[in-house]
Chains A and B, each alone.
Chain A
């Protein structure tokens, strides 16, 4: 049970990553691989600021801004210099690897002895229900502390989802969605599509960096390798979300991304518990996304050929 609670908590933290991927991939149709770098960038920025004694909330916010800056660079490289989105992302991702090493000064930065956002929550739980308090849920004994962390992450995610949903319903947010849908049309209506892409990719990477910052604080360290595979991970979450919630409106897609992230994390946790070799995790994630991408087309063909046979 505590495994499930822990996984759900991480799933909620990574939902921020899924939201970031949703913005770049689904809103802008921009395959933005900067994610792999900005995830670590957020973690590294927050970790080194926290070690330097900065308030962890402020550190997380600065990590968000750092991610936005990285995303803006990708957006500018793509729009200003007409470089293919994938290549623009790869350039920034590669550059960020060095930046991250410089930010942390080493490849791994422990946070276990530092005060993070999650230490606050643990202290809150401590003063509320005492040390090592346990409670029973569905017949399983779990630490109250874990429930507090879960609740905190849940509230944070709900807050960000509402904020994002609201943003994409405003005039500027609607214009952003139109930029991804038909850029020619929205340019003819007076919108600077280049600026929209830059702001959008920046926003996306802000969310991704915040996910990195939160994860680093939750697991107690930042590592220069922690971003690897994160883009596919986020994409998997978004795809699962779309499969569960079959509705294209912004609100539901956002909800889907969060549910997808949690569900995917739970699936992975269960698979690992059943003896899946952790080394195989990335290849399985990649296979999963590959299948999810081609499945709709395959099903359609199947249905068509079935119809043809029925008609013949």
Chain B
């Protein structure tokens, strides 16, 4: 179970570029739960994901995973428990290394890497069985460098790599945003299969309300570095895209009122 307790993060504090990205976010994610994180641009949804992944250390608050406090852990230490797929299809794979070498690296996620042979023949056999269900013909191209593959193929492989060893937590950061609609649908299908198969605890940041409505058992909506709405269970099931759009409009209207009121007050009293 992932517990995020009141985390805050300000980038470039005390400079003109100061950005308050997270201001006291708290979320509890039960084991086996699949959470979709929605939010406007700059709402802090990706920042929250990166905070959990350890891309930076939060200013305040505590993050625990299965009751282990990982707040101060480095990115590579947390990788022992966490599988990740990035928004950019180029981020999750090493382009100049072969498909099989990339997969072999993933089979050692969070484990000690000694001077054992990196690519034993037994593994290659296993890899062939792993990529075959993708229906991308990759099983015959295991020796090709990954850089030669398309974004969709690379993203599918990244997903396989992130889950090759069952992670305690799977983090998906808008992992279909950079793909064309058809490929995105394929990758989403695969995502669903992978998560269902191992009942993975998942947090998926997305900008697609369609995905949020169709997938998962919970929707967290973020706004201005805070959790604005949190729907689960029956409530989540009943939620439609239109409801989400209304909520977004509401948030936006609140903002507008705030700024409008502020300027009115400024006009009248300053």
Query: Which residues of A approach B to under 8 Å, CB–CB?
Result: 167, 169-175, 177-178, 181-182, 184-193, 248
Q: Are B106 and A189 in contact (CB under 8 A)?
A: yes
- Known: A177-B97, A185-B94, A188-B92. Is A171-B116 also a contact (CB below 8 A)? yes
- Expressed in whole angstroms, the Cα–Cα distance for A190 and B86 within the complex equals 15
- Expressed in whole angstroms, the Cα–Cα distance for A232 and B75 within the complex equals 36
- Expressed in whole angstroms, the Cα–Cα distance for A174 and B94 within the complex equals 11
Q: Are A185 and B104 in contact (CB under 8 A)?
A: no
Chain A residues with Cβ under 8 A from B175's Cβ?
none
- Known: A187-B76, A190-B80, A192-B74. Is A178-B117 also a contact (CB below 8 A)? no
Q: Is B247 an interface residue (CB 8 A)?
A: no
Say which residue of B53, B102, B116 sits within 8 Å of A188 (CB atoms): B53
Chain A residues with Cβ under 8 A from B74's Cβ?
192
Query: Which size class do B's interface residues fall under?
Result: 35 or more
14 A-B pairs with C-beta separation under 8 A: A171-B104, A171-B114, A171-B115, A172-B113, A172-B114, A174-B105, A175-B113, A177-B94, A181-B97, A182-B95, A188-B75, A188-B92, A190-B77, A190-B109
Q: Are B118 and A193 in contact (CB under 8 A)?
A: no
Chain B residues with Cβ under 8 A from A189's Cβ?
79, 105-106, 108-110, 161
- Known: A171-B116, A178-B97, A178-B105. Is A187-B91 also a contact (CB below 8 A)? no
- Expressed in whole angstroms, the Cα–Cα distance for A182 and B105 within the complex equals 12
Most chain A beta carbons < 10 A, residue from B76, B82, B161: B76
- Expressed in whole angstroms, the Cα–Cα distance for A193 and B54 within the complex equals 14
Chain B residue with Cβ nearest A176: B113
Query: Which of chain B's residues 84-138 have a Cβ closer than 8 Å to chain A?
Result: 84, 86, 90-97, 101-102, 104-106, 108-111, 113-119
Query: Which of chain B's residues 188-204 have a Cβ closer than 8 Å to chain A?
Result: none
- Expressed in whole angstroms, the Cα–Cα distance for A53 and B93 within the complex equals 52
- Expressed in whole angstroms, the Cα–Cα distance for A33 and B191 within the complex equals 45
Q: Are B117 and A169 in contact (CB under 8 A)?
A: yes
Q: Are B115 and A182 in contact (CB under 8 A)?
A: no
Q: Which 6 A-B pairs have the closest CB atoms?
A: A190-B79, A190-B110, A181-B94, A174-B118, A171-B113, A170-B115
Say which residue of B90, B95, B111, B115 sits within 8 Å of A190 (CB atoms): B111
- Expressed in whole angstroms, the Cα–Cα distance for A174 and B118 within the complex equals 7
- Known: A177-B97, A190-B109, A192-B76. Is A184-B86 also a contact (CB below 8 A)? yes
Chain A residues with Cβ under 8 A from B79's Cβ?
187-191
Q: Are B115 and A167 in contact (CB under 8 A)?
A: yes
Chain B residues with Cβ under 8 A from A192's Cβ?
74, 76
- Expressed in whole angstroms, the Cα–Cα distance for A182 and B158 within the complex equals 13
- Expressed in whole angstroms, the Cα–Cα distance for A186 and B92 within the complex equals 8
Chain B residue with Cβ nearest A167: B115
Q: Are B108 and A171 in contact (CB under 8 A)?
A: yes
- Expressed in whole angstroms, the Cα–Cα distance for A170 and B113 within the complex equals 8
Most chain B beta carbons < 10 A, residue from A178, A182, A184, A190: A190
Q: Is B145 an interface residue (CB 8 A)?
A: yes
Q: Are B113 and A191 in contact (CB under 8 A)?
A: yes
Chain A residues with Cβ under 8 A from B116's Cβ?
170-171
Distance (Å) between the CB of B203 and the closest chain A CB? 15
Say which residue of A171, A177, A185 sits within 8 Å of B92 (CB atoms): A185
Q: Are A170 and B117 in contact (CB under 8 A)?
A: yes
Chain B residue with Cβ nearest A175: B113
